[in-house]
Amino acid sequence: MTIVNEMTFQLQTDGKRCLYEQIYEHIRREIREGKLLAGEKLPSTRFLAEYLQVARSTVDYAYGQLLSEGYIEARPCKGYFVCPIEELLVLEETVVLPERTSGEEEFGERNFAVDFSPYDIDMSGFPFGVWKKITRNILTCANSDLFARGEAQGDDELRRTIARYLHSSRGVNCRPEQVIVGAGNDYLLLLLEKILGQHVRIAMENPTYTRSYRMFRSFAYRIETVDMDEFGMRADKLEQANVRVAYVMPSHQFPTGTVMPIGRRMELLKWADGAPDRYLIEDDYDSEFRFRGKPIPALQASDRHGRVIYMGTFSKAIAPAIRIGFMVLPDALLERYRREYAFYSCTVSRIDQSILNEFIRDGYFERHLNKMRKIYQGKHELLLECLQSMRESFRISGENAGLHLLLTSKRKILERELVRKAAENGVRVYGLSESMVEESPESTTVLLGFGGLSGEEIQRGAELLKKAWQL
């Protein structure tokens, strides 16, 4: 009986560690280190209790735990024996916590004085106060219901609010049942992949929104790029592309800012009607930020045969941390979703859904959008003004592109040059080719985002660019 004989069994009786745990751990260690071998008999609980001067129930408890974990077994009328355990000796108790692997991505190592990122937004206008107030109120009134599991599609109230908002602001026609709430666009695309099925051939414009492109590529979708003209994706080329789904951003295409006119929209819808199970994914990303005139209605608003999957997110219009997006499914896909995937749990907490619901329902969202639209419009105009003197050397476009402008060199200077020279002068600009998803002749266009910059930064950035490009 090793345990007793070895006399290494020193119980700490200072009350810091529970006695049964010490017994359990000692025996477990002996077994794992091969000091107690398979088949060996353990002392009886009565014997060990007397030997260690502890209550018998303490030893019972320790043996019970060892039994549960399978280190020992009880043979009726014979006592406790060590179990044979395959390869147990390889186990070590030491915790392996290696250092953080080096070679992690280090983005933005270089410090830019001004970063014209087309992806940044202005968070200074975010109504933190209102958001906090709503959160406080919701938590104060919260009953345990709010902490219970909600509907898989998202809570009914939020879906009603979204449907109402989409109808009034974007002309989208849908019932709340068609709305699926999810934790961001990436998740919703993952869900959509399930609904649409595998091996889908999908058409995208080139350049396009590379985030969606990478998602589709990670789905092993076959992606066909379809030529664009001034109106967006060419319907005749789409017809030839032999695809089942087309991904478009009709309200303003990223990054070109092209607004798809109603005529082209009808052509795309006609294409979708031309064969069963053809769909248009309308990414209405960022459509709130149009600075001239009314918002362009959604493509879904013109869809009469259930061919458009409408997607949107609150991450850009409210805050990136608000991981709430939604999609509106046409009936045929809704049915497929309900039949096959409606058991996937909702990915947004009910509390967050309630906060967003009140934020929209009580008009704060619209007020926030109006405010941000003005702020962004101001920045848009300021940037245009600052770039005025560059018009001799650059064509400036993208007035409908949202939070960035496009500058195309009239002197055919390659984007690589433009980006490099800007960087040398402390300014980050973005080559159009970053949004290219197919080999293309090298562009002479760069993107200048202004969403996240202050007025001073815009002015300073423009000055530095003039210096960099010697204008």
Q: Which is nearer to a second copy, 120 or 463 (CB)?
A: 120
Compute φ and ψ for 228, nearest 5 degrees: -110, 155
Q: Which is nearer to a second copy, 37 or 262 (CB)?
A: 262
Please choose, from the candidates 137, 128, 129, 127, the residue with its C-alpha nearest in 3D space to the C-alpha of residue 351: 137
Q: Which is nearer to a second copy, 273 or 417 (CB)?
A: 273
First to last CA, the chain: 91
Please choose, from the candidates 311, 316, 310, 298, the residue with its C-alpha nearest in 3D space to the C-alpha of residue 260: 298
Q: How far apart are CA 283 and CA 281, in angstroms?
A: 6
Q: How far apart are CA 15 and CA 43, in angstroms?
A: 25
Least CB distance to a second copy at residue 402 (A): 14
Length of the chain: 471
| CB proximity list for 291: less than 8 A, separation 6 or greater | 373, 376, 377, 380, 399
Say whether the peptide bond before residue 207 is cis (omega within 30 degrees of 0): yes
Q: Which is nearer to a second copy, 128 or 277 (CB)?
A: 128
Q: Which is nearer to a second copy, 182 or 464 (CB)?
A: 182
267 to 252, 261, 287: CA distances (angstroms):
17, 10, 21
Token match 């000091």: residue?
A: 35
Q: How far apart are CA 1 and CA 314, in angstroms?
A: 68
Q: Which is nearer to a second copy, 294 or 412 (CB)?
A: 294
Q: Which is nearer to a second copy, 339 or 412 (CB)?
A: 339
Least CB distance to a second copy at residue 204 (A): 17
Angle at 376 between CA 370 and CA 382, to 5 degrees: 140
Least CB distance to a second copy at residue 469 (A): 31
Q: How far apart are CA 320 and CA 336, in angstroms?
A: 30
Least CB distance to a second copy at residue 224 (A): 21
Least CB distance to a second copy at residue 277 (A): 18
Q: How far apart are CA 27 and CA 19, in angstroms?
A: 13
Least CB distance to a second copy at residue 324 (A): 8
Least CB distance to a second copy at residue 264 (A): 7
Least CB distance to a second copy at residue 92 (A): 7
Least CB distance to a second copy at residue 344 (A): 5
Angle at 183 between CA 337 and CA 157, to 5 degrees: 70
Q: Which is nearer to a second copy, 376 or 394 (CB)?
A: 376
Least CB distance to a second copy at residue 248 (A): 14
Q: Which is nearer to a second copy, 251 or 444 (CB)?
A: 251
Biggest CA pair distance of the chain: 100
Q: Which is nearer to a second copy, 205 or 267 (CB)?
A: 267
E-state strands within 297-421: 308-313, 325-328, 394-397, 404-409
Q: Helices 364-387 and 350-361, interaxial angle, to 10°?
A: 80
Least CB distance to a second copy at residue 389 (A): 26
Nearest-Å Rg of the Cα atoms of the chain is: 32
What residues are paired with 89 via a beta bridge? Answer: none
- 3-state SS, 435-446, equals HCCCCCCCCCEE
Q: Which is nearer to a second copy, 147 or 389 (CB)?
A: 147
Query: Which two three-digit tokens encode residue 254?
Result: 């990223």
Least CB distance to a second copy at residue 373 (A): 15
Q: Which is nearer to a second copy, 259 or 447 (CB)?
A: 259
3-state DSSP helix/strand/coil percent for the chain, to nearest 5?
Answer: 40, 15, 45
